[in-house]
């Protein structure tokens, strides 16, 4: 996914896609941890509002059958 970098005050910013926000349950004002890998040109964001994603009720049964 490509996104445009925007001017935000004296800084630059990138928006967080709405479906990602909904899926992990973050909201405006939540804190985010940022790890920088400058030599690789990477920023890694770790959001604190992450919710446990639900799995199907029969997921474990399917996994057990596959392993047998």
- The conformation of residue 64, written as its DSSP 8-state character, comes to H
Tell me the pLDDT of the chain (68 aa) as tens digits.
888 999 999 999 999 999 888 888 888 888 889 999 999 999 998 887 656 556 667 766 655 555 55
Q: How far, in Å, CA of 53 to CA of 68, rounded?
A: 26
pLDDT for residue 6: 96
User: Under 8 Å CB-to-CB from 10, ≥6 apart: which residues?
Assistant: none
Domains of the chain, with CATH numbers? 6-67 (2.10.260)
Q: How far, in Å, CA of 68 to CA of 66, rounded?
A: 6
């Amino acid at each position: 996914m490509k996104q445009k970098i925007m001017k935000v005050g004296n800084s630059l910013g990138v928006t967080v896609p709405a479906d990602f926000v909904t899926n992990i349950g973050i909201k405006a004002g939540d804190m985010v941890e940022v790890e920088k890998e400058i030599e690789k040109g990477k920023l890694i964001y770790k959001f604190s509002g992450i919710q446990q994603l639900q799995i199907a009720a029969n997921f474990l049964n399917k996994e057990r059958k596959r392993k047998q």
